[in-house]
Structure 1
């Protein structure tokens, strides 16, 4: 959707009419977009990081590992490195209804995108 609609003070109807679905994505928390317009999401249900190419391709799993508990805060680094924190948010009282069940150590993982 063109951001200029907001800057021009268009009404909700005009803004709503301009919204288009770009692609499917997983249930996610962290996300980042690269200079080419591809989007990277933490895939909470699969302990993974996925990529949706610019133009709206189906999500492609880049890395999947059971240690990536609640992937969040994805960052793109130099030389195709991708960083993601495993923050274990699903083990906090807001999700468990009990005490904090997170288990240190907590990690930031990195992997290389080819």
Structure 2
């Protein structure tokens, strides 16, 4: 699998790309894991980008997705919700990140960017 982060989207992620103290997670927020605030019975599951302290959550986010701005970690089973080729871009209308699959189209219209690097 591969992820391309557009130039505009990378500007939004830039505080977390220039410092090796962060890991970026491509989190499928499905109610599973300590970072999830969604109830397990929710029908609303979305991808979000979560910045965490380097090395935190490595056990749960045990797969690596390479991108042009560096690796994103993710939960191994969430790859069934991804496309082989994806793009993270900035929506110019609302300045929100969007995750687009090459085959599936829009996977998440509003990808939240959360900084949880001070939590563990």
Query: Is TM more than 0.5 here?
Result: no
Higher share in helix: 1
**Larger RCO (alpha carbons 8 Å, 6+ apart):** 2
Which structure has the bigger radius of gyration?
1
TM-score, normalized by length of structure 2?
Answer: 0.28
State TM-score, norm by structure 1. Answer: 0.28
- Which structure features the higher share of strand residues? 2
